[in-house]
């Protein structure tokens, strides 16, 4: 029997869900610490329960650990009770695999999928005994690297990170590893290392750039301070989706999305104008059915999961989707597995797909995201759909036996009036009636209402967030009406979307605000958004900044936007034209059929593989 109960284990006895902190999952990779040249810690700055299922993390974990001379371990944000214990015992935050202090790794790779975990990044660095600001860190501190969907506007976090990866990480993490190892061997110091990293396409070193502002607070100039730093940082893509990971870690404690995910397609050609993911993840690349089925088989064998999520931004757009669902049925229908196929478009074709999957294991409700309730509004956001087709689909859903439908809508859309908002309620009521007619008894309708936050790199990037008074008025109308009609409704209060608006649309000046907010107790902002909001407002005023400048200001088409130096492959000209079309109510059809020259082929066209090797959605 072991006699030494280490301090970590002692602490674990007194925290909630200690299994979050111990690792040891099936398929975990633990390498000998001293046998490698380079040590990464991949960090998801939210609790284990929310981060462990992240597919990006699984992909990078496998890719890095496949290198003999590299190890990659994991760490997550400790929950509040664990943080108290760590601080009380002056224990630095550690990795799950070897329980090494984060400070002892070479590279800390943070994934930033959303903005509400920015303060957690600072907290994690602090818990590891590392200074939060890049410039204050010492020569032998780990390299602090960021990546993920939120990094397409890295500026608000620029002062805390040594480097960012813009775009897809599969290839660039290995290039970063190589440059780091070379630098270590030749005794390069950190500033030399950063200069070498800046030469890797897709790597952004914020400290190599400077920014000046106009008197009104907008950006006057943004420029590289060094010759080796590119003027614009073009995102990285992988031309062909690399082999999919199959040896997923199998959590020992229950987590959110406790299943395995298989990415069937990356990117989307639909061009919904509010959709950040649809703009930044171009071009569309998909895996063939012949690739996907063995991945599912292998992953099931190596994990024992009983649920599979087939991930993409728009499942019904996969060119072999019907074949895929049929083959999934054929191969797995006697294994008692549940399959989910999210992001189905509202068309009868989606129902054929659901029919195939339903046989495997009946799911809960049917989820649809019309986003807007009038044909006019749907044209504005470029998610066109005729009412007639919409109700035909709804009728078929009920005819196929579903009794519960969840509908996602947005409010605060450009040119929106109360007519458009009233239409949301009317649609929900009508769907309920249709359900009663078809099924003969009551059906469950659940309305999910979100507020538009115009995101960087989308055609709506110049728009303001709608004012809270107006949002509140629209929400009140929907709340009262839904209650009367016996329809369940969920929504975000205007306050709770503000933080996302500030941080996603912010500039480099927000670094100080984020730091002050964190110093005053803001963390886990997605959990305590309303509670933390006053801390954030105070932090803005402490730095003489106006939060409304970031949320409620319509940006001039000539303004230099904080993310203009990040090149996602889609041109600003394209986005602007799309914005103008939006205001005219003019739609832009699926660009698989006709190219609108968004710019992606100009940047990446030379990487495009032959069709047989990797499918791209571009014509």
Partner 1 sequence: MNDTPIRIRVRYSKVGNLRFVGHLDTQRLFERALRRANLPLRYTQGFNKRIRLNLASALPLGFTSSAEVLDFWLDEALDSREIFQKLQEALPAEIRIIDLNPVSNSLPSLQASVLSSDYRIWLPRNLRPEDFQQKLDQLLQAPEILVSRRNKSVDYKPLIFESDLQTDSDSKLVWNLRLSSTPEGNARPDDILNLLEINPAVCLIERVGLNFITEVE
Give the residues lining the site for partner 1 (CB under 8 A): 1-3, 5, 10-14, 18-19, 21-26, 250, 252-254, 300-306, 336, 361-362
DSSP helix/strand/coil, 41: strand
Choice between 27 and 571, CB closer to partner 1: 27
Choice between 24 and 342, CB closer to partner 1: 24
What values do phi and psi take at 476, rounded to 5? -60, -45
Question: What is the Cα–Cα distance from 189 to 206, expressed in whole angstroms?
Answer: 17
Find the distance separating the first CA and the last CA of the chain, reported in whole Å: 65
Choice between 12 and 322, CB closer to partner 1: 12
Q: Helix/strand/coil (H, E, C) string of 377-441?
A: HHHHCCCCCCHHHHHHHHHHHHHCCCCEEEEEEEECCCCCCHHHHHHHHHHHHHHHHHHHHHHCC
- As measured in angstroms, the least distance from the Cβ of 19 to partner 1 is 5
- As measured in angstroms, the least distance from the Cβ of 240 to partner 1 is 30
Choice between 77 and 249, CB closer to partner 1: 249
Cα-Cα-Cα-Cα dihedral sign, residues 172, 174, 175, 176? positive
Choice between 234 and 252, CB closer to partner 1: 252
CA diameter of the chain: 76
- As measured in angstroms, the least distance from the Cβ of 250 to partner 1 is 6
- As measured in angstroms, the least distance from the Cβ of 79 to partner 1 is 14
- As measured in angstroms, the least distance from the Cβ of 21 to partner 1 is 8
Choice between 181 and 259, CB closer to partner 1: 259
- As measured in angstroms, the least distance from the Cβ of 105 to partner 1 is 20
Choice between 22 and 526, CB closer to partner 1: 22
- As measured in angstroms, the least distance from the Cβ of 613 to partner 1 is 33
Choice between 18 and 201, CB closer to partner 1: 18
> Which residue in this structure is represented by tokens 């994990």?
303
- As measured in angstroms, the least distance from the Cβ of 100 to partner 1 is 15
Residue 18 DSSP code: G
- Say if CB 415 and CB 454 are below 8 A apart: no
Residue 209 DSSP code: E
Residue-by-residue DSSP string for 447-476: EEEEE--PPTTSTTTTSPPPPHHHHHHHHH
What values do phi and psi take at 171, rounded to 5? -95, -40
Q: Which residues 6+ apart lie within 8 Å of 429 measured at CB? A: 485, 487
């Amino acid at each position: 029997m072991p006699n030494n109960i280490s301090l970590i284990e002692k602490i674990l006895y007194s925290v909630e869900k200690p299994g979050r902190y111990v690792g040891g999952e099936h398929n975990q990779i633990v390498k000998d610490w001293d046998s490698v040249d380079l040590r990464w810690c991949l960090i998801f700055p939210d609790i284990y329960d929310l981060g462990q299922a992240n597919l990006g993390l699984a992909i990078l974990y496998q890719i890095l650990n496949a290198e003999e001379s590299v190890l990659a371990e994991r760490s997550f944000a400790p929950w509040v009770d664990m943080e108290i214990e760590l601080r009380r015992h002056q224990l630095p935050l550690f990795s799950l695999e070897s329980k090494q202090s984060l400070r002892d790794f070479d590279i800390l790779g943070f994934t930033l999928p959303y903005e509400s975990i920015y303060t957690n990044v600072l907290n994690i660095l602090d818990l590891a005994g590392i200074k939060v600001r890049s410039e204050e860190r010492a020569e032998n501190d780990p390299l602090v690297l960021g990546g993920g969907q939120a990094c397409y506007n890295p500026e608000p976090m620029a002062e805390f990170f040594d480097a960012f990866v813009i775009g897809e990480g599969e290839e660039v993490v290995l290039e970063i590893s190589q440059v780091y190892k070379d630098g270590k061997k030749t005794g390069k110091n950190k500033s030399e290392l950063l200069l070498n990293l800046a030469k890797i396409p897709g790597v952004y070193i914020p400290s190599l750039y400077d920014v000046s502002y106009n008197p009104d607070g907008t950006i006057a100039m943004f420029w590289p301070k060094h010759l080796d730093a590119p003027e614009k940082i073009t995102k990285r893509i992988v031309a062909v989706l690399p082999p999919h990971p199959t040896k997923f870690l199998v959590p020992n404690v229950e987590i959110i999305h406790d299943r395995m995910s298989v990415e069937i397609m990356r990117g989307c050609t639909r061009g919904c104008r509010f959709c950040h993911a649809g703009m930044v993840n171009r071009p569309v690349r998909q895996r063939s059915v012949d690739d996907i089925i063995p991945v599912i088989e292998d992953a099931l064998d190596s994990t024992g999961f009983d649920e599979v999520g087939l991930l993409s931004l728009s499942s019904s757009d996969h060119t072999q989707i019907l074949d895929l669902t049929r083959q999934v049925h054929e191969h797995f229908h006697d294994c008692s597995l549940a399959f989910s196929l999210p992001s189905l478009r509202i068309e009868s074709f989606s129902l054929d797909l659901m029919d195939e999957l339903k046989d495997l294991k009946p799911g809960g409700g049917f989820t649809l995201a019309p986003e807007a309730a009038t044909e006019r509004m749907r044209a504005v956001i470029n998610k066109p759909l005729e009412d007639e087709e919409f109700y035909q689909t709804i009728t078929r859903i009920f005819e196929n036996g579903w009794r519960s439908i969840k509908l996602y809508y947005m409010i605060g859309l450009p040119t929106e009036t109360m007519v458009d908002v009233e239409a949301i309620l009317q649609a929900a009521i009508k769907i309920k009636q249709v359900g009663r007619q078809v099924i003969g008894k009551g059906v469950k309708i659940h309305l999910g209402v979100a507020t538009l936050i115009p995101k960087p790199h989308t055609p709506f990037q110049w728009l303001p967030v709608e004012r809270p008074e107006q949002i509140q008025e629209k929400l009140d109308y929907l709340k009262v009406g839904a209650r009367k009609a016996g329809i369940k409704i969920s929504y975000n209060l205007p306050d709770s979307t503000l933080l996302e608006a500030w941080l996603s649309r912010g500039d480099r000046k927000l670094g100080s605000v984020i730091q002050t907010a964190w110093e005053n107790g803001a963390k886990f902002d997605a959990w305590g958004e309303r509670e933390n909001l006053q801390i954030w407002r105070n932090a803005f005023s402490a730095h003489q900044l106006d939060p409304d400048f970031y949320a409620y200001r319509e940006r001039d088409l000539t303004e230099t936007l904080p993310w203009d130096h990040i090149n996602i492959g889609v041109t600003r000209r394209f986005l602007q034209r799309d914005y103008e079309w939006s205001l005219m109510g003019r739609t832009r059809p699926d660009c698989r059929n006709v190219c609108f020259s968004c710019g992606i082929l100009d940047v990446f066209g030379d990487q495009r593989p032959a069709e047989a090797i990797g499918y791209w959605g571009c014509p």
